[in-house]
Amino acid sequence: MKSFGSAEEFLNHDHFDCACLVADVHLGKMSGLELQAMLAARGGAPATILTSGLAEDEMELEARRLGAMAFFPKPFDASALLDAVSRALAPTAP
């Protein structure tokens, strides 16, 4: 597991070995939604789980449209987040 202080820091890292990304929507200069869109446009985006303390229905819809596998408004149940991470990391059947 690795953590980053910003979306830009993540993008400057060799993130191609990343199987699951958990990010907040409100990250600073670049939002989690912008990060998700950029990764999706590049192809091969990791399974992404987004969170937000200022969640709105439209935000969750946009996150899912961009390919997020899960969206959690804060406060969220930690076990639900861990379940989503486990699903993201589970091997897929051939």
Residue ranges per structural domain of the chain: 7-80
> Which homologous superfamily is 7-80 in?
Response regulator (3.40.50.2300)
pTM of the model: 0.86
As given in the structure block, the two tokens for residue 18 are: 């990343």
3-state secondary structure of 43: coil
Output the pLDDT for position 15.
57
Mean pLDDT per block of 10 residues along the chain (94 residues) reads 87 78 90 91 87 87 92 94 93 60
d(CA 52, CA 19): 21
Output the pLDDT for position 93.
46
